[in-house]
Amino acid sequence: MTTGQTTTVEARPLPRGPHRLTRETVIESQRGRMIEAIAVAVADKGYAATTVGDVVSGAGVSRKTFYEHFTDKEDCFLAAWDTGVQVLFDAILSSRDRESDPIERMRAGLRAYLTTLAEEPAFARSFFIEVVAAGPRAEARRAEVHARFAELFATIQQQAQRDMPQLPDVPPAISRAAVGAINELVSDYVRSGRTERLPELEDTLLYLELVLFAGHDVAARATGRRA
């Protein structure tokens, strides 16, 4: 799965015929192809209808190879989920590191989040839509990820307060509320087939984040909205 300049597990095809690739390289490539294949299959057919056969066919590997890496379809799906989540967090954090202004850091993180999802529509559908059908383990993993995003928002708010002491204190639940609201807006785009248009939500999500953490006046100035 690749996102812009960020690469997780390289999924290039192996050369035909004899080669000198190490076993580690072969395993890495096979696993990456299977992770990519299940994301594509689930986005196309839905989680319930996707089979191990779809994964091995899409990845160009044998069933034996599949079961050397994963215990079952669910295990493979969760591996794809974890890979994609890490890509998202890496993109957000690296983009924020390049900004010094607290509001621009927020904007950069949201832009990286939306752009990453827009560039990976199969993962976006799995992340927001199909995970609900993937069973209790996936639901638990989803809750953990939402908690990680809430912690990230809380950290962002604390950093912003250090740079802008005039910002108010907010209840801890506000971070979870921000995650829920952003998730709902993004899910609506993905569900309706508008994943590639997600970057157009940048100002809306920035306004939402700022109005929750800093108030309407700060949010309006940052996004050019009228009071």
User: Do the beta carbons of residue 11 and residue 29 sit within 8 Å?
Assistant: yes
- Token look-up 């004899």 returns 18
Please report, for the domain that includes residue 156, its CATH number: 1.10.357.10
Tokens found for residue 85: 């989540």
Tokens found for residue 33: 């192809």
Query: Region 16-20: what's the mean pLDDT?
Result: 45
- Which residues, at least 6 apart from 143, have a Cβ–Cβ distance to it below 8 Å? none
Q: How many domains does the chain have?
A: 1
- Separation CA 85–CA 123 (nearest Å): 9
Which residues does residue 2 pair with via DSSP β-bridges, in sequence order?
A: 7
H or E segment to which residue 3 belongs: strand 2-3
User: Do the beta carbons of residue 39 and residue 130 sit within 8 Å?
Assistant: no
Nearest to 113 by CA among 186, 219, 178: 186
The residue type found at 189 is Y
Tokens found for residue 5: 């300049």
Tokens found for residue 95: 């983009």
- Separation CA 113–CA 106 (nearest Å): 11
Instruction: Give the residue with greater pLDDT, 224 vs 32.
Output: 32
- Separation CA 59–CA 121 (nearest Å): 18
pTM of the entire predicted model: 0.81
| Structural domain of 10 | 2-223
Tokens found for residue 105: 């850091």
pLDDT band at 19 (very low <50, low <70, confident <90, very high): very low
Angle made by CA atoms 205, 207, 211, in degrees to the nearest 5: 120
Structure confidence by residue, pLDDT tens digits, 112-134: 999 999 999 988 998 899 998 99
Structure confidence by residue, pLDDT tens digits, 134-169: 999 999 999 999 999 999 888 888 887 787 777 778
